[in-house]
DNA sequence: TATTGTTATACTCTATAACTATA
DNA sequence: TATAGTTATAGAGTATAACAATA
């Protein structure tokens, strides 16, 4: 072995592991995301729409800019998503009380009902897949969901 | 409580947990996939392209139909991906030795080099995020990658 | 002048339906 | 007639640049 003596062997391996994990995780995530989108072709809302609705559900009404930041997309992308949700009556847009430039987006009653219904009964394909997993696998998935959520909070 | 007496309480809760986990996992996965795609804007290849290249790397040359099945996309989608990769010289297309309808797609030398280089050095953003995680979180992510990969193998 | 949201435009990813060539 | 791959077309999702209205 010809390692630079300033570099502990352990940290070298950890670093390599992290690169490998980053690569593996990225591929697994994009492939699973592809499947999940595909299995929702006949759902009322897409995963992009559901993601925005879920944020409004858990965090309450907010401006398009805040929702874009929270979902980590650019404002014009969120304008589109909000427009599509408003078109089908799942969100309402109201003027901001004190700033004429801003608007407030909130879930309609139908939007709230849809989010609760989705939480309770949708993702049928994935839930079916999960039914075949062992307890340890479910546990690691649950922990991974938390970790992935944290990763995105510290995103650049 | 008014549970049907055929249904064990435990399995009811597990079922609910699985639905909840399916919902949470789906949102986490699509959001992380969005980030990962965004952070590769200046990479040589997209994650869709890298996914196909990685499959060719690990499983060797195959027909477009086999690659589409392996990546779980429809054949016309794979035609496009292969076309884009051939345009930049990362894959080669050769006639099938015995069936004039089929072709064989394989990694070029540049394609092999790119996959190895990506594995070793890319996903920089994600690797940086992972560096801040604790060992237990890394472990659950590693296990989750395996589980997600398995999930897709048993896909409809 | 800076900020918020929208419009215009374009690119990637994916799908379905129709077509071509070969088996 | 069935199969493999491609072409044509469309729609979702996302981005950047330019614009309008308001602060």
Sign of torsion over alpha carbons B56, B57, B58, B60: positive
Global pTM?
0.88
**Would you put residue B49 in left (φ > 0), alpha (ψ -120 to 50) or beta?**
alpha
Q: How far is the CA of A102 from the C1' of C4 (A)?
A: 6
Mean of all residue pLDDT scores within chain A: 87
pLDDT band at B124 (very low <50, low <70, confident <90, very high): confident
The size of the A-B interface in CB pairs under 8 A is: 179
Q: Which residue has the higher pLDDT, A120 or A128?
A: A128
pLDDT band at B19 (very low <50, low <70, confident <90, very high): confident
- With CB atoms and an 8 Å threshold, state whether A17 touches B145: no
Between residues A82 and B11, the one the model is more confident about: A82
pLDDT recorded at residue A7: 35
- Which of B13, B34, B57 to mutate to probe the A interface, most A CBs <10 Å? B34
Half-sphere exposure of B93 (CA within 13 A, CB side): 16
CA A121 from chain center: how many Å?
A: 18
Q: What percent of chain B has pLDDT over 90?
A: 68
The reply to whether residue B72 touches residue A35, judged by beta carbons under 8 angstroms, is yes
| Gap between the Cα atoms of A150 and A134, Å rounded | 25
Distance A103 CA to C22 C1' (A): 60
Asked whether the predicted pLDDT for residue A27 surpasses 60, the reply is: yes
Q: Would you state the pLDDT for residue A63?
A: 98
Q: Please report which residue ranges of A39-134 form alpha helices under DSSP H.
A: 47-59, 64-71, 75-87, 109-121, 124-130
SS3 state of residue A153: helix
Query: Does A69 contact B at CB distance below 8 Å?
Result: no
In angstroms, the separation between the Cα of residue A89 and the nearest Cα of chain B is: 22
């Amino acid at each position: 072995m010809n390692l630079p003596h300033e570099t502990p062997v352990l940290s070298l391996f950890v670093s390599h592991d992290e690169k490998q994990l980053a690569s593996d995780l990225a591929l697994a995530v994009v492939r699973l995301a592809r499947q999940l989108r595909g299995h929702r072709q006949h759902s009322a809302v897409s995963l992009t729409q559901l993601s925005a609705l879920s944020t409004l559900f858990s965090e309450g009404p907010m401006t398009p800019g805040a929702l874009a930041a929270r979902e980590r997309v650019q404002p014009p992308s969120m304008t589109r998503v909000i427009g599509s949700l408003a078109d089908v009556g799942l969100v309402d847009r109201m003027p901001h009380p004190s700033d004429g430039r801003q608007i407030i987006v909130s879930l309609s009653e139908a939007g709230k009902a849809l989010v609760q219904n989705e939480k309770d009964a949708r993702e049928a394909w994935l839930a079916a897949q999960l039914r075949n997993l062992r307890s340890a696998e479910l546990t690691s998935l649950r922990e991974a969901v938390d970790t992935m959520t944290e990763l995105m909070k510290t995103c650049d």
